[in-house]
Amino acid sequence: LGDQSRVNRSSPVQISSQSWRTVAAGIANSAAIRYDYKFFTWGTNAQGQLGLNDVANRSSPVQVGTSSWTQIAASNWGSIALRTDGALFTWGLNGQGQLCQNDTVARSSPVQLGTSSWSQIGLPNFGAATTSGWMTAIRTDGALFTWGGNSNGQLGQNNTTNYSSPVQVGTLTNWSTGQGRSYGAAFIKTDGSLWVWGYNGYGQLGQNNLTTYSSPVQVGAGTNWISIGAEEYSTLGITSS
């Protein structure tokens, strides 16, 4: 909770008197970008998921480096962050190649993902890093990329092959927003259509079936989706009308 204690809280407690732009939470670790675009993490750190070049837990916010950041997403095993110049960084466990470094070596401090410029990061899945760890990001040209574990086709590549470097989902460059979950994903295109793929054992892909899909399929025919949220066994979205 970042309040310099290990006491559970059943109501909100303020972490500091500073102003913050955005926050992200894993299972037992948290991250936030301050008003001045500086990046802080705290909580459990056994996998180096705090990005502080060690595995020591923190009970209050600690700044990660000196760069300026615009987006951050955290999971229980690792994180992904977007710097103000469009550079993308990852860190944490890497057993499925989810850090996108073309290897499976864990990192306890941020490492840059290639040299491309990116516009948005997708929430990294909250599944086990050793079996389902994977990440997503949208490049500034609107192309969608995935990498990491792919046991249920969650990378959208029409296969179940793991990838330790970015692979584009299809060839289109009209992706707007979305996120991954443990074994699947949901993304909205710039035309307002909603697309999903991955594990579907509970009908979470909205296809009126329980079929798993390893490449994107559209949810209905609507083009008025504006926001999407996905978890392990469910998906929900907001339309404009």
Q: Which position has the higher pLDDT, 76 or 70? A: 70
pLDDT confidence of residue 232: 78
Measured CA distances, 15 to 2, 61, 71, 135 (Å)? 6, 8, 20, 28
> Is the pLDDT assigned to residue 130 strictly greater than 60?
no
- Tokens for 120? 């948005």
Question: Is it the case that residue 124 has pLDDT exceeding 70?
Answer: no
The beta strand positions in the chain, using DSSP E, are: 20-25, 29-34, 39-43, 58-63, 69-74, 78-83, 88-92, 107-112, 118-122, 134-139, 144-148, 163-168, 175-180, 184-189, 194-198, 213-218, 225-230, 235-239
Mean pLDDT of 48-59: 95
Euclidean distance between CA atoms 86 and 230, whole angstroms = 25
pLDDT in the model for residue 59: 95
Out of 130-134, 164-168, 229-233, which region has the weakest mean confidence (pLDDT)? 130-134
Long-range contacts of 86-91 (CB under 8 A, 24+ apart): 86/117, 86/118, 86/119, 86/140, 87/112, 87/113, 87/117, 87/118, 88/112, 88/113, 88/114, 88/116, 88/118, 88/121, 88/137, 89/113, 90/135, 91/48, 91/49, 91/51
Least confidently predicted of 3-17, 115-129, 146-160, 184-198: 115-129
Given this model, what pLDDT does residue 11 score? 96
- Residue pair 99/78 in contact (Cβ under 8 Å)? The answer is yes
Confidence of residue 134 (pLDDT cuts 50, 70, 90): confident
Q: Is the pLDDT assigned to residue 236 strictly greater than 60?
A: yes
Model pTM score: 0.90
Structure tokens belonging to residue 161: 């092959």
pLDDT at 241: 79
Q: What's the confidence (pLDDT) of residue 93? A: 87
Among the listed residues 24, 21, 20, the one whose alpha carbon sits nearest the alpha carbon of residue 43? 24
Give the dihedral of Cα atoms 134, 119, 72, 11; nearest 10 deg. Answer: -110
Task: Report residue 34 as tokens.
Answer: 């301050």
Q: Is the pLDDT of residue 193 over 60?
A: yes
Question: Count of CB atoms within 10 A of residue 200's CB?
Answer: 21
- Average pLDDT (187-199) is 96
Share of the chain above pLDDT 90, in %: 72
